Chain A
Amino acid sequence: MKPLLKLVLCGISLALVATAMPSLRGPLLDAAVATAWAQQDRGRADKDKDRDQRDKDRNSDKDRDSDRGGGKDKERDTDRGGGNDKERDTDRGVGTDKERDTDRGGGKDKERDTDRGGSNDKGRDTDRGGKNQDRPDRNNNQGRDNNTVDRGGSTPDAIDKGSNNTGSGAGGRNDNGAATTGVADRDSDPADRIPGDARDRDAAPFAGRFDLDDTETFDNDGFLARRGEIIAMSTDALLRRRAEALGLSVVQQEFLASLNTTMYRLAVPAASPIDGILARLRAQDPAGVFDRNHLYDRSASAATSPSGTPSRALVGTAKGVSIGLIDTGVDALHPALSGTHVELQYFVDQSRELPETHGTAVVSLLVSREYGILPDAQLYVACVFYEDRRGGALSEARDLVRALDWLMKRRVPVINMSLAGPPNQVLEAAVKRALAAGHLIVAAVGNGGPASPPLYPAAYEGVIAVTAIDGTQHVYRRANRGQYVQLAAMGVDVLAAAPAGVASYSGTSFASPYVAALAAMDYRELDPQKALQVKESLRDNALDLGPPGRDEVYGYGLARPRPISTVAR
C-alpha cells in the first residue's frame, strides 16, 4: 500500500508543479500521466512479478538487453504480459530461428519445438508470414498458453501490420533489409488460400457484386471487357480460317482504310481459355494485334448545379479550325449548340440507350456561342458510348479504334479523347498509327485518384495527357497522376451545357478539350513535323505549377495560348 500511496502523491505533486510553471508543463504532465498509468497497472505487474523473476534468471543474455535499451527482463515481460520465454515464443511465431535464439538468449531448440506444437521450421516460417515481416504479437502475449495454436498470420498484429491473408510479404522488403517472402507464399496457408487458377470460378460472384450484365466480365487483370470477345487488327488473309480452327467465330470483319488494316471481332465459345487463345493468335500472326474487347469510361463526374465561371473564347472566331472528339452522343438540338458546326457519326449499336450529356457538355465547351472557347470551329464527333445498366456510360475498345479510323479519314488534325480505361494492344496500335500519320491526340488522364494506376489512352506514349485543375490552380482531387501527365487545364466546376440548360462539371474530361483547342488553333493541316512543333510549343508556353519543372501532378503545367505575336497565320 505504501509504494502505491507514494506513486499517487508523486503524480499529484508533478501535476501541481506543472500547473505552476508553464514551461515545464509538457514534460512534467507527461511524467505525471506516466505515473498514474504505472499505478493503474501496478496491480497486474505485481501478479506477474514471480514469474518474471524466473524469466529474468534464465535470460541474462547481454545482447538482448542491449537490443532493448538495457531494459530489465522484468519490465519487458510485464509489458508483454509477463509470460516466460516458452510461452512468448509460442505467441510470436515470426522471425528466423537465428533471430529468435539471439533474442531469447539462447533458448534450447528442444524447448522451442515443443512450444510450437512440433511443427517444422519450414512450415512454421511459411505459415507465419516469412521472416521479419511481422513483428511479435505483443497484444496476445498476455493470453499466452502453451496450448495456444498461433499461426502468426491471424494474430492482431499480423492482421494489423502484415501483408495479405497469411501475413506474408509479396516481395516487399523490411527496414532490416531482409527480403520478405514472395507472392506465392500468400497461398501457403490452406485456410487463407485464394481460389486458385480457375479464374472464371469467380465470374458469377463478380456479376452480382459488381452488377455486371451477361456481356461483361473482368479480364485477368481486373479490367472490364466484353465477355467472350477478342478483337484483332490484322492484314493476314488467313486469320478467319485460323480463328475458326481455334473454335472462334468471326462476328464482324471490317476494313479500316485509314488504319490500313482489317478489324475483326471474334467470339470465343463459353468456357474456352481466352488468354490461351489470345496467345495462340499472337503466335500465329506476329504482325497482327489481338486483345480483349475492353470497356472504357468517360472521365467525368456527375454534373452539379451551375456554380463556376464560364470559359472565355480563345479567339473571336475559329473558322478553319477543326477538332475531332471521341465521346458520347450529342444533343444537337440543345440551345447552346445552335448555329454550331458539328458532324456526328455513331460507332455504337444504336438500339441501345445512348447517353448525350457528356458529349453535349464537351461540345458546348468548345463551340457554344455563349461560352465556347473556339466559336465557329468545325467539330467531328465520333459517338462511341452506350448507357450501361449501372447508370454509367461505356465504350468498347473496338469502337474506339473504328472512331479513330473515321477521324483519320476526315483528316482531323487534333483528336480529343475524354475517356479512360485499361491498356489495350489493339487501341494502342491504332493510336500509334494515328500519331504516325500526324494526328495530335489529346486525352484526359482519368479520374481514378492520385494513387490510381495509369489509365489509357492518356498513358500511351505520344498522347498529350491532360489533368484538371480548379480555379485556384490546384489539381482536381480525383485526377490521376503519373509521369505521363503532360499538361493541366481548368477542369473543376466548368460551366457547360446540360439537359436542363447549364451545369457545372468536374473531371479531367473537361480539361482536355481546352488543350485540344489550343493545339487545334495552331495545327490545321496534318503534318507530322508540325505536330511535334505544336506539342513543344504547348509545353514551352505552359505555366509551371507544383514543384519546378515537369512533375507527376501537373506535368509541364497549365496550358496557355501562345502570345499573339507568335500565333501561326
Chain B
Amino acid sequence: MRVLVACLWLAAAAVVHATPLPQYELADTFIYDNGRVEQLVSMSGDELTWSAFEGRQYVRDRNFVVPLLHWDTADSAGTRQAAPEARALWPLEPGKAVRFRVLTDINVQVKDGASRRRRRAELWSCRVLPSAAITVPAGTFDAFEIRCEQFSPNTMRVISEERWYYSEEVGHYVSRRWVDFLTGRRGGYSLVAKLRGMEANPRRIRSILSGL
C-alpha cells in the first residue's frame, strides 16, 4: 500500500513539475541576437503562424522542435506533416525522449514559371535534458535543453543536431544552436527581448534590432 501511495505521489509530482506546451498571445514578439524576429500573427489550434519582421510568414507547430509546417515564398512553398509522436515530448520532463518522422512536400519554383514538387522524409529523435540556467542577452533563465538529432533516412547516420533551450518563464525558446554534420557548419541565436501587446510595434522592434 505504501509503495502504491509513494508511486502515486511521485507520479503526481512529476505531473506538477512537467512543463506544458508554450502558450502565447497574439503579437508576442521574440527578438534574437542574429536579427531574427518571430512575431505571432495568428493561431489555429496548435498551428501558429509567425512572421519575420514585416516579412515572410510561416507556420510552426506549438511544439517548436518540429520543423516548419508550412512556408510560401517567391521561390518555394512547402508543407510538412509531423508524426503525432512528436507531441509526446510535452509536457517536458528530463529524460523524456521521442522519435518522429516528418514528411515534407516542397514545390520549388523553376525559372520558366513552372514548379516541381518533391517529397522527402525527415527522421528526428529528441530528448529532454535537465533544466539548467542559461544566460542570453535577455537575461538568465532556467531552461530545459531539448536536444534533437536528425538521422539520414538511409544510413541512420546523424546528419544534424539541434539544441533548443526552452524557458518556461519566458514561454518560448531562449536559445537555439545547431550543427550540420554534413558540412561541419554550426550556428545559433539567443533571445534579446520579448515584446508584448503595443510594445511589439515595428518601430520598437526596429529600434531593438538597430542596437544589436
Which of A's residues lie within 8 Å of B, judged by CB? 30-31, 33-35, 37-38, 40-42, 44-45, 67-69, 71, 75-76, 78-81, 95, 103, 117, 132-136, 138-140, 142-145, 147-151, 154-156, 159-165, 168-172, 174-176, 180, 183, 186, 191-192, 194-195, 199, 202, 206, 209-210, 218-224, 448-453, 477, 481-482, 551-552
Residues 164-185 of chain B: 1 if any A CB is under 8 Å from the residue's CB, otherwise 0? Answer: 0001011000101111111111
Instruction: Find B68's partner among A160, A210, A452, A481 (CB 8 Å cutoff).
Output: A160
Interface residues of B in 140-159 (CB under 8 A from A): 140-141, 151-157, 159
> In the bound complex, do residue B206 and residue A194 qualify as a contact, i.e. CB atoms below 8 Å apart?
yes
Chain B positions within 8 Å of A223 at CB level: 204
Residues 61-104 of chain B: 1 if any A CB is under 8 Å from the residue's CB, otherwise 0? Answer: 00000011001011110100000000000000000000101001
Question: Could you pull out 29 A-B pairs where Cβ atoms are within 8 angstroms?
Answer: A34-B123, A38-B154, A68-B183, A78-B152, A138-B180, A139-B78, A140-B106, A142-B118, A143-B76, A143-B118, A150-B76, A154-B73, A156-B67, A161-B36, A161-B178, A161-B189, A172-B32, A172-B189, A174-B188, A175-B186, A192-B55, A194-B206, A202-B202, A218-B204, A219-B203, A220-B203, A450-B139, A450-B194, A481-B139
> In the bound complex, do residue B177 and residue A175 qualify as a contact, i.e. CB atoms below 8 Å apart?
yes
> In the bound complex, do residue B212 and residue A172 qualify as a contact, i.e. CB atoms below 8 Å apart?
yes
Q: Give the most central of B52, B53, B122: most A CB within 10 Å.
A: B52
- Which A-B residue pairs are the 9 nearest by beta carbons? A222-B204, A170-B35, A172-B34, A165-B55, A163-B35, A222-B203, A154-B73, A143-B108, A41-B153
> In the bound complex, do residue A183 and residue B210 qualify as a contact, i.e. CB atoms below 8 Å apart?
yes
Can you name the residue of chain A whose Cβ is closest to the Cβ of B207?
A221
Chain B positions within 8 Å of A69 at CB level: 157, 181
Bound CA span A176–B95, Å: 30
Bound CA span A203–B208, Å: 19
Bound CA span A68–B158, Å: 10
> In the bound complex, do residue B53 and residue A95 qualify as a contact, i.e. CB atoms below 8 Å apart?
no
In the complex where A68-B181, A169-B34, A451-B193 touch, is A164 in contact with B75 (Cβ < 8 A)? no
Q: Give the most central of A149, A162, A194, A450: most B CB within 10 Å.
A: A450
Check: B18 CB closer than 8 A to any chain A CB.
no
In the complex where A148-B108, A154-B74 touch, is A71 in contact with B203 (Cβ < 8 A)? no
Q: State the Cβ distance, B107 to closest chain A Cβ, in Å.
A: 8
Instruction: Find B116's partner among A103, A143, A219 (CB 8 Å cutoff).
Output: A143
Interface residues of B in 100-147 (CB under 8 A from A): 101, 104, 106-112, 116-123, 125, 138-141
Chain B positions within 8 Å of A71 at CB level: 155, 157, 182
Given contacts A79-B155, A135-B180, could you give 7 more A-B pairs where the C-beta distance is less than 8 Å?
Answer: A68-B183, A148-B111, A149-B75, A156-B67, A159-B56, A452-B199, A482-B139
Q: State the Cβ distance, B154 to closest chain A Cβ, in Å.
A: 5
> In the bound complex, do residue A75 and residue B152 qualify as a contact, i.e. CB atoms below 8 Å apart?
yes
> In the bound complex, do residue B36 and residue A452 qualify as a contact, i.e. CB atoms below 8 Å apart?
no
> In the bound complex, do residue B139 and residue A37 qualify as a contact, i.e. CB atoms below 8 Å apart?
no
Can you name the residue of chain A whose Cβ is closest to the Cβ of B108?
A143
Q: State the Cβ distance, A93 to closest chain B Cβ, in Å.
A: 10
> In the bound complex, do residue A38 and residue B73 qualify as a contact, i.e. CB atoms below 8 Å apart?
no
Can you name the residue of chain A whose Cβ is closest to the Cβ of B188?
A175
Bound CA span A218–B197, Å: 13
Can you name the residue of chain B whose Cβ is closest to the Cβ of A169?
B34
Instruction: Find B198's partner among A34, A171, A210, A551 (CB 8 Å cutoff).
Output: A210
Instruction: Find B169's partner among A45, A155, A171, A450 (CB 8 Å cutoff).
Output: A450
Chain A positions within 8 Å of B207 at CB level: 220-222
Bound CA span A353–B49, Å: 37
Q: State the Cβ distance, B51 to closest chain A Cβ, in Å.
A: 10
> In the bound complex, do residue B53 and residue A67 qualify as a contact, i.e. CB atoms below 8 Å apart?
no
> In the bound complex, do residue B182 and residue A79 qualify as a contact, i.e. CB atoms below 8 Å apart?
yes
Chain B positions within 8 Å of A45 at CB level: 153-154
In the complex where A37-B156, A222-B201 touch, is A451 in contact with B174 (Cβ < 8 A)? yes
Check: B48 CB closer than 8 A to any chain A CB.
no
Bound CA span A233–B177, Å: 48
Can you name the residue of chain B whose Cβ is closest to the Cβ of A41?
B153
> In the bound complex, do residue A135 and residue B56 qualify as a contact, i.e. CB atoms below 8 Å apart?
no
Chain B positions within 8 Å of A140 at CB level: 76, 106, 108
Bound CA span A170–B52, Å: 14
Q: State the Cβ distance, A247 to closest chain B Cβ, in Å.
A: 24
Instruction: Find A163's partner among B34, B117, B152, B194 (CB 8 Å cutoff).
Output: B34
Can you name the residue of chain A whose Cβ is closest to the Cβ of B33?
A172
> In the bound complex, do residue A148 and residue B193 qualify as a contact, i.e. CB atoms below 8 Å apart?
no
Bound CA span A200–B201, Å: 13
Check: B191 CB closer than 8 A to any chain A CB.
yes
Chain B positions within 8 Å of A154 at CB level: 56, 73-76
Chain A positions within 8 Å of B53 at CB level: 164-165, 186, 194
Check: B37 CB closer than 8 A to any chain A CB.
yes
Can you name the residue of chain A whose Cβ is closest to the Cβ of B133?
A547
Check: B195 CB closer than 8 A to any chain A CB.
yes
Q: Give the most central of A80, A140, A191: most B CB within 10 Å.
A: A140
Instruction: Find A448's partner among B106, B121, B199 (CB 8 Å cutoff).
Output: B199
> In the bound complex, do residue B204 and residue A164 qualify as a contact, i.e. CB atoms below 8 Å apart?
no
Bound CA span A140–B77, Å: 10
> In the bound complex, do residue A67 and residue B183 qualify as a contact, i.e. CB atoms below 8 Å apart?
yes
In the complex where A37-B151, A150-B75, A172-B189 touch, is A164 in contact with B52 (Cβ < 8 A)? yes
Q: State the Cβ distance, B95 to closest chain A Cβ, in Å.
A: 11
Bound CA span A163–B32, Å: 8
Chain A positions within 8 Å of B206 at CB level: 194, 222
In the complex where A147-B111, A164-B209, A222-B203 touch, is A135 in contact with B139 (Cβ < 8 A)? no
Can you name the residue of chain A whose Cβ is closest to the Cβ of B203?
A222
Instruction: Find A174's partner among B119, B187, B194 (CB 8 Å cutoff).
Output: B187
Instruction: Find A183's partner among B78, B117, B180, B212 (CB 8 Å cutoff).
Output: B212
Can you name the residue of chain B whose Cβ is closest to the Cβ of A178?
B187
Chain B positions within 8 Å of A172 at CB level: 32-35, 189, 212
Chain A positions within 8 Å of B30 at CB level: 451
> In the bound complex, do residue B138 and residue A451 qualify as a contact, i.e. CB atoms below 8 Å apart?
yes
> In the bound complex, do residue B78 and residue A37 qualify as a contact, i.e. CB atoms below 8 Å apart?
no
